[in-house]
A and B are shown apart, each in its own frame.
Chain A
């Protein structure tokens, strides 16, 4: 079955510290992988995406993610967190089948300590 697991419901980091949010997926075919961010009361904004090629992808706001096929993981990282990064982060997986649906993880809420 296709699924996405984000094992951390909440993560708290200090401003300026590094960040890694975990994402594991189960998908039968070559996956397309995405990270989205959601600020309170807002819709989801795309941070970055992976389709093929270089397994380290760069996104907006200084985020990057690394695709590791052997571990079925697509972890999101940022070297130095800013207070404005506090939000909820969602990992999603999809593929180029006939429906092009995305399956989302349950999200990780990031809190940033001043």
Chain B
């Protein structure tokens, strides 16, 4: 399995508080992604990174920010958590060789009360 660690695995937080989720990889891959998974929606891309300090928005980026100061770490921050951000968050990595797939972490289950 690709070396991807997400932390925490579970978190419960209150509406209005900031939350940071961490993704750590040991594969030295250039591309990293944050997806959220919700019933009936599959996985939707929040933000992605194509290198240190190089990030861009996905289709559901409102209310989220990211940072990547090192190749191995990609942080997702919910600036002021809302109940609609209750979800399972997955980090993925890719080496971007021709046709290389994404490899996923085990997810973080976030509940906003």
Given the interface contacts A43-B105, A49-B101, does A100 sit within 8 Å of B42 by beta carbon? no
What are the interface flags for A33-51 relative to B under an 8 Å C-beta threshold, 1 for contact and 0 otherwise? 0101000011111100101
Give A2 to B56 CA distance when docked, in angstroms.
18
Which residues of chain B come closer than 8 Å to A9, judged between CB atoms? 40
Residues of B within 8 A of A42 (CB): 106-107
Q: Give bound CA distance, A41 to B106, whole Å.
A: 8
Q: Does A104 contact B (CB under 8 A)?
A: yes
Which residues of chain A in 84-112 are interfacial with respect to chain B, using CB atoms and an 8 Å cutoff?
A: 90, 96, 98-107
Q: How many residues of B contact A (CB 8 A)?
A: 26
Report yes or no: B56 in contact with A99, Cβ–Cβ below 8 A: yes
Q: Shortest distance in angstroms between B103's beta carbon and chain A's nearest beta carbon?
A: 7
- Taking the complex as formed, is B31 at the interface, i.e. its CB lies under 8 A from any CB of chain A? yes
Residues in chain B near residue A46, CB distance under 8 A: 101, 103
A63 within 8 A of B: no
Within the complex, the shortest CB–CB distance from B79 to chain A, in Å, comes to 23
B92 to chain A minimum Cβ distance, whole angstroms, is 8
| Contact B48 A99, beta carbon cutoff 8 Å | yes
Take A32-B99, A34-B101 as given contacts and tell me if A101 and B42 are in contact as well, using a CB distance cutoff of 8 Å: no
27 chain-A/chain-B pairs, Cβ below 8 angstroms: A9-B40, A32-B99, A36-B104, A41-B106, A41-B107, A42-B106, A43-B4, A43-B90, A43-B106, A43-B107, A45-B104, A46-B101, A49-B101, A51-B99, A96-B99, A99-B48, A100-B31, A100-B94, A100-B96, A101-B33, A101-B45, A104-B35, A104-B42, A104-B43, A105-B42, A106-B40, A106-B41
